Amino acid sequence: MSPWPTIELGKVAEIAAGGSAPQDSDDFSNVGTPFVRAGSLKPLTEGAIESSLELLKEEVAKKHRLRLFPAGSVLFAKSGMSATKGLVYRLTLPAYVVNHLAAVISGPNLDSGYLRHCLKVFSPTCLIQDEAYPSIRLSDIASMKIPLPPLEKQKRIAAILDRAEALRAKRRAALSQLDELTQSIFIDMFGDSVSNPMGWKRYPLKHCVNHIQIGPFGSLLHKEDYVFGGIPLINPTHIENGKIVPDLNQSITVQKHAELQLYQLQQGDVIMGRRGEMGRCAIVGSEHNRMLCGTGSLFIRPDESKAIAMYLQAMLSSESMRKHLEGFSLGATLPNLNRGIVGELAISLPPIGLQKEFSHRIESIEKLKATHKSALTEIDELFLSLQYRAFRGEL
């Protein structure tokens, strides 16, 4: 429980909404003042700079009767699905704001940095009355109560939490750079996957692997086969950033799994999403052995004398190959790949020794990433602890 008195937000801040977005693309220019949309909140909270947003000249803003909100205004979505996300951002520059966003302008007794952190803990999402049609009324925002310590204490809390957030951001940036390093090493060693500037011999993928298998179609799986906590199915949504992330809500019975041996994954397989976003790939680890390839995926069992899993995973998930696969995919509304298309895909095949050298380098990077991820987990836990203590008056 907070040791400080609570106060209605509207008594210490102005609550306002943005204006209608200009509809003509010619209204935006390369110079001017940032225009913040609801979709801008996620990149901004992840470190994007406001000057990278769409820009409006003053005369255009006046034509559309847009209000210029000062630096320090705290923004969050008040309508649409964005309102359910709980994203809160504090402007560092003056900006125009879309009408889907609420803007809170702190008065003299409320520090805007403290307010940003406060609204992340005491989220305005609790003011949504109908989750089917999410919206938050300005009057309800004005009436919501927040703890209000003395101004100097507010600034101290904001400064401590800001420093903790900066540590988290640096660690995430380091992880992102390691991801980019993996791609750079691939390009440096093998060149572009599609244009093949190094002139490696090219072969159909089916000649470099032992097996290509699409997951079982719907006729093989029925409603009663699905259970919670069974054997997970691995579909494209379960492949994130080159890793398999199973969902126990999408799993089948042990009995049904035993009947579908053809579709069972083995350690060292490369599983790839074949529907929707092309190029989602991951290597099956020991912890995923015998899980089931989902209908939306296919797996490739490499012939390790010709192509090793690490090389295939990196090659198939490269940006140029993803675009190449999109060109081959079938279906207007939901692009998908079939076994024949994937099997006939021409791939560059560098010497196996060079592929193994690449694998060793990537394994070293993965160990380093694991260290960074562990440190990030510790920092995240520290931040949550600081956040908890801050609003209990223990900082």
CB count within 10 Å of CB 245 equals 12
- How far apart CA 114 and CA 235 sit, in angstroms, is 42
pLDDT at 331: 58
Please give the biggest Cα pair distance in the chain.
73
Q: What are the tokens at 223?
A: 């409603």
Q: What percent of the chain has pLDDT over 70?
A: 98
| Cβ contacts of 180 within 8 Å, gap of 6 or more | none
Q: Is the pLDDT of residue 335 over 70?
A: no
Instruction: Read off the DSSP letter of residue 275.
Output: B
Helix crossing, 112-121 with 151-190: angle to 10°?
70
Helix crossing, 319-328 with 309-316: angle to 10°?
70
- How far apart CA 115 and CA 148 sit, in angstroms, is 9
Supply angle C-alpha 316, 320, 323, rounded to 5: 90
Strand (E) or helix (H) holding 173:
helix 151-190
Asked if 295 contacts 225 with a C-beta cutoff of 8 angstroms, the reply is no
pLDDT at 330: 62
Q: What percent of the chain has pLDDT over 90?
A: 69
The class (CATH top level) of 6-148 is alpha beta
Q: Is the pLDDT of residue 42 over 80?
A: yes
Instruction: Read off the DSSP letter of residue 263.
Output: G
Q: Of 138, 195, 203, whose CA–CA distance to 320 is shortest?
A: 195
Q: Of 134, 151, 45, whose CA–CA distance to 84 is shortest?
A: 134
**Where does the chain hold its CATH 3.90.220.20 domain(s)?**
6-148, 201-349
Q: Give the Å distances, CA to CA, from 325 to 277, 314, 337.
A: 10, 14, 8
- How far apart CA 172 and CA 377 sit, in angstroms, is 11
Fold of the domain spanning 150-191+351-395: Helix Hairpins (1.10.287)
**Where does the chain hold its CATH 1.10.287 domain(s)?**
150-191+351-395
User: Per-residue pLDDT averaged across 55-66, rounded?
Assistant: 93
pLDDT at 300: 96
DSSP code per residue over 75-121: EEE-BSGGGGS---EE-SS-EEEBTTEEEEEE-TTS-HHHHHHHHHH
Give tens-digit pLDDT for 281-330: 999 999 998 899 999 999 999 999 999 999 999 999 998 998 888 887 66
Q: Give the Å distances, CA to CA, from 305 to 136, 267, 301, 349.
A: 60, 16, 12, 11
Q: Is the pLDDT of residue 132 over 70?
A: yes
**Amino acid occupying residue 58:** E
User: Per-residue pLDDT averaged across 55-72, rounded?
Assistant: 94
Fold of the domain spanning 201-349: Adenine-n6-DNA-methyltransferase TaqI; Chain A, domain 2 (3.90.220)
